[in-house]
Structure 1
């Protein structure tokens, strides 16, 4: 079976590919695509036939649904999403299934078996492309009030649920993003800081630099440095010095005053 993974988080895409090969080593991942623009280009060019697409909702440049608007893509889709309950109904609209990140192997197997069953009974036409207008409408309404309120973190063979309200800040170190809880626990997450900026309530979290995304309660003290630079003392204390980037200074001060 030929599949395509449309996902802008490289670690997530690699993990999904690994799970697919665990399910069936004969599965061929034709491409891992991180953006709407690249997906549109790829699907417009000659390529081997694709039987199934795994698609994230928020890609690095736009909503994944835009791919359907710009191509004649009618391939069955299994959506993958970092969002919780409010997205469930959206992903059930004319799609095979949805998988909540981090992807659970048993749920992945169930989704693929569902796809195979539908295809066996009704053929490829049993799973038309999603109803884009309905999906965008549902997402648009949800985005007004809903942000990610918990993270499922894989630690060894265990999965932990971390409430967003318990997170002090996120930081990037050696190409890996970590979250730090208010009690000082540091855990790796499968999201880039760019993606986390989309998922979190902007009233509670601010991207101060390329390395840090901080919550307001985590800021213990702000120091004025020469040339107008700002240094932050965070709680729990960071191993790195924490500065606000110059190009984010004005917006940061506005955020503090909200």
Structure 2
């Protein structure tokens, strides 16, 4: 497999290359480019090798990575790698395999490359003038989350997780028996990985499981307070713009 890495941070690009080779040492990296201009220059080089897959950062030195896809109308699968979650919908308008949030976790990278192999078995890149097909991106629910305890790594099943939280620029999960562990995913990424029938993003800092909700209190101005078990030690209110969705979710 031939790939391109389009990334403007040298250390991030090097780490991504190392992770790719850890997944499969036979993968050939055709080049690493930090900008839209340098990437387009590669594709305009006579006799260039067309990649089977592109790893594409969104914020590059000179513009957004989407400009590359718009200019070339590429019919090549793309895995987006970015620190920004707000471009997800726009990304999946392209031939997108996955959308990985930085810092990239090896487990996520393996999932994305495995997904590529399932979606495009034996696929050969088509000429750039062809129309890009829209790829189905039905999420796969994670059954376990890996956490670190000192030098040990432990697997926590999703059924043991009462809620996820975000504080002091880090994400955590709390188990039903009150244990708390840091996790390497943003809450946006976690919501893409859990069963939406069992978990709900009540506000920017909490994702609660249905089984962890012990009671709901209605306050003036339509505010809803959620009580969780184990108790998080702070008051949890449902975001005002999510109250209708929350009520609908409770009734499913």
TM-score by length of 1: 0.57
Residue 40 of structure 1 corresponds to which residue in structure 2? 66
State the 1:212 CA deviation.
Answer: 0.8
- Cα shift readout 1:134-190 (whole Å, capped 9, x = no counterpart): x925x44xx4xx422221224443322211111111111022111111111212222
State the 1:80 CA deviation.
Answer: 4.8
Residue 34 of structure 2 corresponds to which residue in structure 1? 30
- Cα shift readout 1:23-77 (whole Å, capped 9, x = no counterpart): 9xxx967377258x932225678xxxxxxx86459964238565458xxxxxxxx
Note the residue ranges of structure 1 that are not aligned, 5 or more in a row: 7-12, 46-52, 70-77, 96-126
Residue 230 of structure 2 corresponds to which residue in structure 1? 236
Q: Structure 1 CA distance, aligned partners of 2:94 and 2:242?
A: 32
Going from structure 1 to structure 2, the CA distance change for 1:222 and 1:199 (only over 3 Å counts) comes to: same
The question of 1:217 aligning with 2:211 is answered: yes
Residue 135 of structure 2 corresponds to which residue in structure 1? 136
Alignment equivalent of 1:247, drawn from 235, 241, 250: 241
Q: Structure 2 CA distance, aligned partners of 1:173 and 1:208?
A: 15
Kept in 1, the 8 Å contact 2:161–2:173? The answer is yes
TM-score by length of 2: 0.59
State the 1:237 CA deviation.
Answer: 0.9
Kept in 1, the 8 Å contact 2:217–2:224? The answer is yes
State the 1:210 CA deviation.
Answer: 0.9
Kept in 2, the 8 Å contact 1:3–1:54? The answer is no
Q: What value does the CA root-mean-square deviation take over the aligned residues?
A: 4.4
Kept in 2, the 8 Å contact 1:3–1:28? The answer is yes
Q: Structure 2 CA distance, aligned partners of 1:163 and 1:68?
A: 32
Question: How many residue pairs are counted as aligned between the two chains?
Answer: 195
- Cα shift readout 1:80-131 (whole Å, capped 9, x = no counterpart): 5485998475266358xxxxxxxxxxxxxxxxxxxxxxxxxxxxxxx848xx
